[in-house]
Chain A
Amino acid sequence: MLVVLALASCLAPPRPQRERLAATPLVVRTSPAIATPTSPPATADEATPTATATPEPSPEAEEAELPSLLPKITDATRPNVAASLRLIEDGRTLLVREDYDHALDRIERALAIDPSNAYGYYFLARVHYEKHNYDQTIAFADKAALLSARDDRPWAARAYALQGAAFEAVGRFPDARAVYRKAFAMDPHNGAASAGITRLGGNATAP
Chain B
Amino acid sequence: MLRRLILGVLVLFVGVVGVAAILAVPYFRQLDTIVAEKFAGKRWDFPSKIYSDSCLIFAGLDLDGIGLSDRLQRLNYRQVNSGPTRQGEFALGVNTTDIYLHDSLLASGPRTGARIRLLRAGSMVTGIEGLDTHDELFEVELEPELITGLYENIWEERRLVTLDEVPPLLVRAIMAIEDQHFYEHHGVDPLGIARALWVNLRNGQTVQGGSTLTQQLVKNFLLTPERSVNRKLKEFAMALVVERRYSKREILEAYLNEIYLGQRGAQGIFGVWEAANFYFAKPLADLSVAEMALLAAVIKAPNRYSPFRDPDRALRRRNYGLSLMHKRGDITDEQHAQAIAEPLRLAAPKPAGNDAPYFVDFLRQELARTYPVSVLTSEGLSIFTTLDMQMQRASEETLRHGLEELEKNHKRLRSDKPTEALQGALIALQPQTGEIKAMMGGRDYRSTQFNRVVQSQRQPGSVFKPFVYLTAFLRTADGGPVITPASTLDDEPFEWAFDNQVWSPANYKNRYFGQVSVRHALEFSLNAATSHLARDLGIPAVREVAQRLGITSPLPAVPSLALGAVEVTPLEIARAYGVLANQGLKATPLSVKRVLDRSGTPIERNPFEVERVIDPAPVYLLIHVMEGVLDHGTGKAARRLGFKRPAAGKTGTTNDYHDAWFAGFTPDLLAVVWVGFDQNKPVGLAGGEAALPIWTDFMKRATAGRPETPFLPPPGVTLVNIDDLTGEVATPNCAEVIEEAFLSGYEPTQPCHLHAPSEAPSAAPVTHAPDYVE
Instruction: Return the chain B residue nearest A138 by Cβ.
Output: B612
The one of B56, B610, B769 in contact with A140, judged by C-beta atoms closer than 8 angstroms, is B610
Q: Verify B583–A136 contact, CB threshold 8 A.
A: no
Instruction: Return the chain A residue nearest B587 by Cβ.
Output: A139
Q: Verify B56–A185 contact, CB threshold 8 A.
A: no
B residues less than 8 Å from A136 (CB atoms)? 609-610
Q: Which of A32-61 contact B (CB under 8 A)?
A: none
Interface membership of chain A positions 57-101, coded 1 if the CB is closer than 8 angstroms to chain B and 0 otherwise: 000000000000000000000111111101100100000000001
Does A108 sit at the interface, judged by CB under 8 A? Answer: yes
Q: CA of A90 to CA of B59 in the docked complex: distance in angstroms?
A: 17
Does B715 sit at the interface, judged by CB under 8 A? Answer: yes
A residues less than 8 Å from B126 (CB atoms)? 79
Q: Which of B696-712 contact A (CB under 8 A)?
A: 707, 709, 712
Does A146 sit at the interface, judged by CB under 8 A? Answer: yes
Instruction: Return the chain A residue nearest B710 by Cβ.
Output: A116
Interface residues on A, range: 35 or more
The one of A109, A147, A149 in contact with B139, judged by C-beta atoms closer than 8 angstroms, is A109
A residues less than 8 Å from B668 (CB atoms)? 115-116
Q: Verify A146–B583 contact, CB threshold 8 A.
A: yes
Instruction: Return the chain B residue nearest A118 by Cβ.
Output: B712
Interface membership of chain A positions 110-152, coded 1 if the CB is closer than 8 angstroms to chain B and 0 otherwise: 0111111000000000000000000110111011011101100
A residues less than 8 Å from B712 (CB atoms)? 116, 147, 150
Q: CA of A187 to CA of B712 in the docked complex: distance in angstroms?
A: 21
Q: Which of B553-612 contact A (CB under 8 A)?
A: 583, 585, 605, 607-612
Q: CA of A97 to CA of B178 in the docked complex: distance in angstroms?
A: 56
With A136-B610, A139-B612, A150-B770: A115-B60 Cβ-Cβ less than 8 Å: no
Q: CA of A80 to CA of B126 in the docked complex: distance in angstroms?
A: 9
Counting chain A CB atoms within 10 Å of each CB, the highest count among B61, B433, B714 belongs to: B714
With A87-B139, A139-B611: A178-B774 Cβ-Cβ less than 8 Å: yes
The one of A114, A140, A146 in contact with B616, judged by C-beta atoms closer than 8 angstroms, is A146
Q: Verify A111–B432 contact, CB threshold 8 A.
A: yes
With A150-B769, A150-B770: A86-B138 Cβ-Cβ less than 8 Å: yes
Does A4 sit at the interface, judged by CB under 8 A? Answer: no
Counting chain A CB atoms within 10 Å of each CB, the highest count among B125, B605, B607 belongs to: B607
Q: Verify A149–B611 contact, CB threshold 8 A.
A: no
B residues less than 8 Å from A26 (CB atoms)? none
A44 to chain B, nearest CB (A): 15
With A78-B707, A79-B58, A79-B59: A115-B772 Cβ-Cβ less than 8 Å: no
Q: Verify B667–A146 contact, CB threshold 8 A.
A: no
A residues less than 8 Å from B773 (CB atoms)? 181-182, 184-185, 205
Q: CA of A143 to CA of B610 in the docked complex: distance in angstroms?
A: 10
B residues less than 8 Å from A153 (CB atoms)? 770
B residues less than 8 Å from A113 (CB atoms)? 56, 58, 139
Q: CA of A149 to CA of B430 in the docked complex: distance in angstroms?
A: 23
Q: Verify A108–B607 contact, CB threshold 8 A.
A: yes
Q: Which of B673-720 contact A (CB under 8 A)?
A: 707, 709, 712-715
Q: Which of B55-78 contact A (CB under 8 A)?
A: 56, 58-61
- Does more than half of chain A's interface fall in helix, strand or loop, or is it mixed? helix
Q: Verify A185–B607 contact, CB threshold 8 A.
A: no
With A83-B139, A105-B108, A143-B583: A115-B667 Cβ-Cβ less than 8 Å: yes
The one of B139, B430, B611, B714 in contact with A146, judged by C-beta atoms closer than 8 angstroms, is B714
Does A186 sit at the interface, judged by CB under 8 A? Answer: yes
Counting chain B CB atoms within 10 Å of each CB, the highest count among A109, A142, A146 belongs to: A146
Counting chain B CB atoms within 10 Å of each CB, the highest count among A84, A113, A114, A140 belongs to: A113
Size of the chain B interface, CB-CB below 8 angstroms: 36
Does A195 sit at the interface, judged by CB under 8 A? Answer: no
Q: Verify B709–A116 contact, CB threshold 8 A.
A: yes
A residues less than 8 Å from B605 (CB atoms)? 101
Q: CA of A81 to CA of B58 in the docked complex: distance in angstroms?
A: 10
Interface membership of chain A positions 168-184, coded 1 if the CB is closer than 8 angstroms to chain B and 0 otherwise: 00000000001001101
Q: Verify B60–A83 contact, CB threshold 8 A.
A: yes
With A83-B60, A112-B56: A135-B715 Cβ-Cβ less than 8 Å: no
Q: Verify A79–B772 contact, CB threshold 8 A.
A: no
Interface membership of chain B positions 424-463, coded 1 if the CB is closer than 8 angstroms to chain A and 0 otherwise: 0000001011000000000000000000000000000000
Q: Verify A149–B770 contact, CB threshold 8 A.
A: yes
With A108-B607, A139-B611: A82-B59 Cβ-Cβ less than 8 Å: yes
Counting chain A CB atoms within 10 Å of each CB, the highest count among B108, B138, B433, B583 belongs to: B138
Q: Verify A87–B60 contact, CB threshold 8 A.
A: no
Does A192 sit at the interface, judged by CB under 8 A? Answer: no
With A83-B138, A115-B432, A115-B668: A185-B772 Cβ-Cβ less than 8 Å: yes
B residues less than 8 Å from A111 (CB atoms)? 432-433
Interface membership of chain A positions 189-207, coded 1 if the CB is closer than 8 angstroms to chain B and 0 otherwise: 0000000000000000101
Counting chain A CB atoms within 10 Å of each CB, the highest count among B60, B430, B585, B605 belongs to: B60
Q: Verify B60–A78 contact, CB threshold 8 A.
A: yes
Instruction: Return the chain B residue nearest A111 by Cβ.
Output: B432
B433 to chain A, nearest CB (A): 8
Does A104 sit at the interface, judged by CB under 8 A? Answer: yes
Counting chain A CB atoms within 10 Å of each CB, the highest count among B56, B139, B616 belongs to: B139
Q: CA of A112 to CA of B388 in the docked complex: distance in angstroms?
A: 12
Q: CA of A2 to CA of B714 in the docked complex: distance in angstroms?
A: 32
A147 to chain B, nearest CB (A): 7
Q: Verify A83–B612 contact, CB threshold 8 A.
A: no
Instruction: Return the chain B residue nearest A87 by Cβ.
Output: B138
Q: Which of B732-774 contact A (CB under 8 A)?
A: 769-770, 772-774
Q: CA of A19 to CA of B609 in the docked complex: distance in angstroms?
A: 23
With A109-B56, A116-B709: A80-B770 Cβ-Cβ less than 8 Å: no
The one of A80, A139, A182 in contact with B59, judged by C-beta atoms closer than 8 angstroms, is A80
A114 to chain B, nearest CB (A): 8
With A104-B607, A115-B668, A149-B714: A143-B139 Cβ-Cβ less than 8 Å: no
Q: Verify A139–B585 contact, CB threshold 8 A.
A: yes
Q: CA of A197 to CA of B58 in the docked complex: distance in angstroms?
A: 42
Q: CA of A205 to CA of B773 in the docked complex: distance in angstroms?
A: 7
Q: CA of A138 to CA of B612 in the docked complex: distance in angstroms?
A: 9
Q: Verify B611–A135 contact, CB threshold 8 A.
A: yes
Q: Verify B60–A139 contact, CB threshold 8 A.
A: no
A residues less than 8 Å from B607 (CB atoms)? 104, 108
Interface membership of chain A positions 9-48, coded 1 if the CB is closer than 8 angstroms to chain B and 0 otherwise: 0000000000000000000000000000000000000000
B residues less than 8 Å from A181 (CB atoms)? 772-774
The one of B58, B432, B433, B611 in contact with A80, judged by C-beta atoms closer than 8 angstroms, is B58
Q: Verify B707–A80 contact, CB threshold 8 A.
A: yes
B106 to chain A, nearest CB (A): 10
B620 to chain A, nearest CB (A): 9
Q: CA of A24 to CA of B433 in the docked complex: distance in angstroms?
A: 29
Q: Verify A80–B60 contact, CB threshold 8 A.
A: yes
Q: CA of A119 to CA of B739 in the docked complex: distance in angstroms?
A: 29
Instruction: Return the chain A residue nearest B593 by Cβ.
Output: A108
Q: CA of A207 to CA of B608 in the docked complex: distance in angstroms?
A: 35
A39 to chain B, nearest CB (A): 27
Q: CA of A111 to CA of B582 in the docked complex: distance in angstroms?
A: 14
Instruction: Return the chain B residue nearest A86 by Cβ.
Output: B138
Q: Verify B612–A142 contact, CB threshold 8 A.
A: yes
B residues less than 8 Å from A81 (CB atoms)? 60, 707
Q: Which of B336-391 contact A (CB under 8 A)?
A: none
Q: CA of A142 to CA of B59 in the docked complex: distance in angstroms?
A: 28
List the 7 closest A-B pairs by CB distance, nearest first.
Answer: A79-B60, A80-B60, A79-B59, A185-B773, A185-B772, A83-B58, A182-B772
Beyond A115-B667, A146-B714, 4 extra complex contacts between A and B, CB < 8 Å: A139-B609, A149-B772, A181-B774, A207-B774
A→B interface (CB under 8 Å) = 78-84, 86-87, 90, 101, 104-105, 108-109, 111-116, 135-136, 138-140, 142-143, 145-147, 149-150, 153, 156, 178, 181-182, 184-186, 205, 207
Selected A-B contacts with CB under 8 Å, 16 pairs: A79-B125, A84-B58, A87-B138, A108-B608, A109-B56, A109-B139, A112-B56, A113-B56, A115-B433, A115-B667, A139-B612, A143-B610, A153-B770, A181-B772, A182-B772, A186-B772
